[in-house]
Amino acid sequence: MSSKYRLALIAHDQKKDDMVAFVEAHRPYLAGCALFATGTTGQRILEACPELDLQRLKSGPLGGDQQIGALISEGMVDALIFFVDPLTPMPHDVDVKALTRLAIVYDIPMALNRATGEIMLKARETG
């Protein structure tokens, strides 16, 4: 089993640019992590930071959110950063709720915006 910090990254369409900027800002730290991301989010991250250890899963609406949920339930994810767009209706909103529930059940940190993502990574970087 890897000793790397295992982090799942998801971003709604209107938040993908924010996620890429977040990852670029934390590139040195994230280079030491094992990353999982849903399809398009992962593709955008890898285009900007191809050196990262990132496993792309399916697109969120096509099952990627559930794949992340399965990884959480199997103890394969240490934390989740999910940049949610609260202003755009999502047809797969039930998947977002399921991920939130799994993060609570398995007691892993979950950041829903850049501010909480910053706090989460700063705590890991300094702690």
Ordered by start, the domain boundaries in the chain are: 6-126
pLDDT at 1 over 50: no
Tell me what the mean pLDDT of segment 73-101 comes to: 88
pLDDT at 55: 98
Q: Which CATH number fits domain 6-126: 3.40.50.150, 3.40.50.1380, 3.40.50.11030, 3.20.20.140?
A: 3.40.50.1380
Query: Which phi and psi (to 5°) does residue 36 adopt?
Result: -125, 140
Distant-in-sequence, close-in-space partners of 66: CB < 8 Å, separation ≥ 6: 95, 98
CB 81 within 8 A of CB 115: no
Q: Is pLDDT above 70 for 2?
A: no
Ramachandran class of 62: left when φ > 0, alpha when ψ lies in -120 to 50, beta otherwise = alpha
Which pLDDT score is estimated for 108? 98
pLDDT at 112 over 80: yes
Choose the catalytic residue: 65, 78, 85, 107.
Answer: 65
> Rounded to an integer, what distance in angstroms lies between the CA atom of residue 32 and that of residue 4?
7
pLDDT tens, residue by residue, 45-67: 999 999 999 999 999 888 999 99
Reported pTM:
0.93
Whether 107 is a known active-site residue: answer no
